[in-house]
Structure 1
Amino acid sequence: MTRTLRLGAVQAEPVWQDLEAAVEKTILLIKEASEKGVHVLGFPEVWITGYPWAIWSRPAVHNAMFAEKYIANSMGRDSPEMKRIQTACKEAQIFVILGYSEREGQSIYITQSFISPAGEILHTRRKIKPTHVERSLWGDGQGDSLTTVVTTPSSQLPLDSPLENMKIGGLNCWENIQPLLRYYCYSQGVQVHVAGWPPFPAHPRDCEIPTPYHNTAEANYRISQNAAMEGQMFVICTTQVLTEKYHELLGLKDLGLFPRTGGAGGFAMIFGPDGSELVEPLPPGEEGILVAEIPDYEQKIRLAKHMCDPVGQYSRPDMLSLRVNPVKAECVTFTSPREMKDVKGVI
C-alpha cells in the first residue's frame, strides 16, 4: 500500500524577545499544520525567540541589554514552555523539528529538538559551531550534537502512518554548508532533512550596503537544494520572516540591508531527493506553511540514489573517509569513583 507523506515548512515571523507569546504562536502553527495533514513539520533556526540580527548590525558593547533580554527569553529543553509544545505535538499527532535558542543556566545555544507525534523529545542537538559573531552570544555544541538523525519509533505512531521507521534529520543554518558534517548526516541514513534558516536579504543587488552573496536568501536556498541532491533526501527548507517594525529592535533601521517597507527574508521550500522544487514558494514577506504531498517517498529516494550514493556505491572509503568523535566534552570530569562520591556527598 502506498501511503502519502506530507512535509511542512514554516515561513513566518518569530515573536521577538517574548518567550510566552513565541510558544503560543508555535502551538498555533503546529495545529495549523495538523489541519493540513502534515506528518513532519520544520521550524526555522532559533524560531524561539527570533534571530538576533543586532549581533551583526551593532557593536557588542551596544548590545549588552539586548543580549540580556535575549538570554532571559531563551527556552530550556526541560521547561514548562517546552512541555506545552510537546503536548501540542501529541495532540496534533505530528513530528516536529523545533529550532530555538536554548538556555542552560545562563548560557545559550542554537538548538534543535526532535519531537515525536507522541510528544516525546527523541533527540536534542546544538549547532556545533555558531557562525562568526554568533559566537559572541551562543556556545558550541559538543560531540553528542553530531547525531543529526533519529529513527521514528513505530510504537509512537498513529495507525498507517507513513513515518514508520523513517530517518529524520536536521541542521542549523550554515551547518548545511559544512561538508564533513553534511557527509556524516548522510551516513546516518537521513531520508527527510530540516534545514533551518533565519531571515536573509534576497540578493546583494537589493542591499544598500555591501553584502556578500553567501549572506543572502538566494544563496542559502541553493545550499538547501544542493544538500537535497547531494544526500538524495527530501529537504524542508524553513525560514523566518522579518517586518519593518522590528528593524529598530534589531539594529537594522536605515541600514539598507532589508527593505524599508513590508516583510522580507523568507525563502522556504521543500526539495525532492533529486533537488526538484516540490511546492510553489511564498513571497519573501508572507507567512504560511508550505505543504508537499509525496506518494511513496522511499521509491523517490531509491531513484535518486541509484545514480550516486556518496556513502554507498559512489564512495571510495579506501581513499577518502571521515573520522568522527561523538563523545560529549564536559566542563567537569572525575579522576576516580572516590572523588565523584565525595563531591556528590557534599552536594
Structure 2
Amino acid sequence: MTIRVGTASPHTQATTKLTLAHLEGIARRAADRGVDILLLPEAFIGGYPRNATFGAVVGSRSAEGRESFAQYFEKAVDLGDTVGEGSAGAGLRWVRRQLPGYEEGGRGRGDGTREELERIARETGVFIVVGCIEKAGGSLWCSVPYICPREGIIGKRRKVKPTGTERIMWAEGHPSTLRAVSTVIRGQRVNLAAAICWENYMPLLRQSLYNQNINLYLAPTADGREGWLSAMRTIGIEGRCFVVSSNMCVPTEANANMSLPSDAGLAAMAALGDRDVVPNDGGSRRGFGTAAGAEGVRDASPPSPSRARHGRRKSVFDEDGNEIVLSCPAENGDTTQEQQQQHLPRVQEQETPEQTPQKKSASYLSRGGSAVISPFGDIVAGPQWEDSDNLLYADIDLRDCIRGRLDMDTAASYARNDVFRLTVDGLDFDPLPY
C-alpha cells in the first residue's frame, strides 16, 4: 500500500486573499491527482522578503525601514495563537481550541486564516503543510501548521533559529514546537515533522525529529541552490525516512509585480489592498484514508514522466550566502527524469506545459528545486526548477523506512544511546507508534 505525497514551487501572491485562493487551487488540483499530503514552501503565506533590508544596519535603523516592517507585519496572518512561554505559543491548548474565544458562543480568535486553511483541507481531502508568517503580540514567526482534513490543525512549528538577517524580522520559536504529529492515511501510520530551511543544517535538530520515529520529513525552504538537494538526500539516508522539500520559484518579473515583499514593493502592496477572488482552479472533493483503511478516489489517468529544468546560469551570492540568479539560457530544455531504483515502485509526475502553461522568464530570484527523496537518498520526483505552476508528486511505500532500518536506525540501534544523549527543552522523545 502506498500513499501519494506532493509538492510544488508556487510564489506568494500580492495579498493574503490571493495567496489563499492560489493555495486552494493547488490543493484542488492535488486532490484531482490523488495526492494525500501536500507540502508548500517556507513563508508561502505572508511572503519571504528576499533582498529586503528593513533599513537595518549595526547600530542604526531607518524610519523607512520601520515602515516597511510595519507593512510586512500587516501582511502576516493571525492564527489565533499566543506568544507563549519562550515563544512556544499555547501548544495543544491552541490546537484543541481551549483558549478564550473558542468556547461555545465565543467570538473566535485570529483573523480567520486558521479556519480558511482547515476548510480547504476538509473540502479537498488533502493533508496540507504550508509555510506562513504568523504574528502574535508584536512579533513575527516563520511557522508551519499541519492541517488534517478530518481534525483540522493538529500541530504547528515555529522556526527555532532564523538565519542571518532573518533575525531582524522573525522571532525565535521554542524547540517544544519540534513535536512531530501522527495521522493515518490509507490505513498507514504517517509520522511527520517539518524542519524549516536552514534548520536542516542543525544536526541536533535533525536528530530531535529522527528520535520521534518519523517516516516523513518535510523541509519547506527558501534555499534555491543546487547544493540544497545534497542535504535533502543526506537526510533521507541519515533518517531512513522519505523527504519532501518545497521552495518557491520566483521569476524576477513576479517580484516586480509585488508577489514577493521587498523594500520597494511593500508600500505598493499595502496600497493594493485585499480584493475578492475566485480560486484559480476547480476540482472534485475526495475521500481521505481513515484508521480503518478507507480509500479515496485516485486519478485513474496514467502519469506523465517527471520533467526537470537544467542548465548553466549566471548568478551572484548575497552576504547571507543566498544565490541570486541573474540569467538563465533560453536553450534550456526539459528532460525526462528516470526512476532511481527499480525495487522501489513509484509514480512520479510533474504536469506538462500542455496541462498548465508554464511561465518563461530570463531570470529568477529563486529557481525552486522542490523534490521528493527516498530513505535511500534516491530522487524519486524532481527537482522542479524554474516552474512555479505545476505539481510534483510521487507514490511512496512507508515500509521502505523499515527496510532501510535493517542496517541503520539513527534513533535507536545505530544511535548508541548508552553513551550519547540528546535532550530538548519541552520535547518528549517517546517515539510515535508505527
Match of 2:116 in 1: 84
Match of 2:394 in 1: 292
Which of 143, 150, 175 aligns to 2:181? It is 150
Match of 2:65 among 52, 63, 66: 63
> Structure 1 length as normaliser, TM-score?
0.79
Q: Which residue in 2 is equivalent to 1:344?
A: none
* Residue matched to 1:205: none
Is 306-315 or 282-291 further displaced after alignment?
282-291
- Say if 2:352 is the partner of 1:250: no
- TM value normalised by structure 2: 0.64
Deviations 1:42-90 (A, max 9, x none): 1111111221113469745353332211110111123312211210101
Map Cα deviations across residues 266-325 of structure 1 (whole Å, 9 max, x no partner): 10100011110112433324432211012xx23211121112111111111222111221
Q: Among 117, 122, 128, which residue is 2:160 paired with?
A: 128
SS in 2 for 1:193: strand
Identity within the alignment, %:
22
**CA apart distance, 1:98:** 1.5
What letter corresponds to residue 189 of structure 1 in structure 2? Answer: N
Aligned to 1:111: 143
Q: Is the 8 A contact 1:8 1:291 kept in 2?
A: yes
Distance 1:193 1:143 in 2: 17
* 2:45 paired residue number: 48
Tell whether 2:33 aligns with 1:33. Answer: no
Matched with 1:235 is: 243
What does 1:1-347 correspond to in 2, within 5 Å? 3-16=1-14, 18-55=15-52, 59=56, 61=62, 63-78=65-80, 79-118=111-150, 120-147=152-179, 149-152=180-183, 154=184, 161-162=185-186, 164-198=188-222, 200=224, 217-247=225-255, 250=262, 257-259=324-326, 261-263=362-364, 264-294=366-396, 297-326=397-426
Checking the alignment, whether the CA contact within 8 Å between 2:367 and 2:385 is kept in structure 1 is: no
Indicate the residue corresponding to 2:330 in structure 1. none
Deviation readout 1:242-271 (Å, 9 max, x if unpaired) = 111255563699x95222534442101000
Q: RMSD of the alignment, in Å? A: 2.3
- State the Cα deviation string for residues 105-139 of structure 1 (Å, max 9, x = none): 33110101011121511001200111121110011
Task: Could you tell me which runs of 5 or more consecutive residues in structure 1 were left unpaired when the two chains were aligned.
Answer: 155-160, 201-216, 328-347
Tell me the secondary structure at the aligned position of residue 279 of structure 1: strand
- Opposite residue 5 of structure 1, the aligned amino acid is I
Q: Alignment partner of 2:170: what SS?
A: coil
- In the other structure, the counterpart of 1:208 is none
Unaligned runs of 5+ in 2: 81-110, 266-314, 317-323, 328-361, 428-434
Which one-letter code corresponds to 2:79 in the other structure?
R
Taking the aligned partners of 2:425 and 2:187, their CA distance within structure 1 comes to 29
SS of 1:25 mapped into structure 2: helix
Contact 2:217–2:241, Cα closer than 8 Å, also in 1: yes
Q: Check whether the contact 1:240–1:265 (CA below 8 A) recurs between aligned residues.
A: yes
